[in-house]
Amino acid sequence: MVRQKGSIRRFRVSRDIKIRTLVFCTIVVAQSRPMRSQVVVENPSQVQYRQDQVEMTYEFARKQVAEELFPAQRYSVPEFQVTLKLGCEDASGVEYAETRIVGAKSGKDDVAVICMKTWNLQRFSYGLIKIIEGRLLSYPKRAAIVEDVVRRVQSSTPVTVAELKGKR
């Protein structure tokens, strides 16, 4: 009988350790990943799609773009919220992917939107990658690059006779 009581006690201790370990791991995992999705799906037309594909595409696209553009570095694309609108198209009937800049300059409040009439994994992936590329350059940096390109083009192209006469 003594032996049985000892094995019951070991079983309870072992079970308590397993439960505590499980609770600890659950807390660590819950805090390591955001609890809410970064992709908000608006689907008033009830278009068929797979939520797991949406989430995985978001994660894989961020990782793949970072690996392609910065192969020697451990860079990760910061998380951002995307709204996937299913069953939608603009007035001309075109699907689109865009980032709308909310304030005077680009920031965390910008709204990234992918509008699709029907669910298509390839088009969604392409739209995400297009948005990620646009977010890699800050608004001031993008504006500076545009100004630099315009200045270089203007200084590198020949001046026409009409432009010379117009400057007088």
In a domain? residue 14: no
Read off the pLDDT of residues 113-150 as tens digits, 9 standing for 90 and up.
Answer: 899 999 999 999 988 988 888 888 777 877 788 888 88
In a domain, 4, yes or no: no
Domain annotation covers residue 72? yes
Instruction: Flag whether 107 is in a domain.
Output: yes
> What value does the mean pLDDT of the chain take?
77
Task: Evaluate whether residue 148 is within a structural domain.
Answer: no
Residue showing tokens 């608004």: 139
- Per-residue pLDDT, 160: 81
Answer whether residue 21 is part of any domain: no
Q: What is the pLDDT of residues 15-33, one digit of tens each?
A: 666 666 655 544 444 444 4
59 inside domain = yes
pLDDT tens digit string along 40-50?
A: 999 999 999 99
| Position 18 in a domain | no
Q: Which residue range(s) make up the domain with 74?
A: 29-137
Specify the number of domains making up the chain. 1
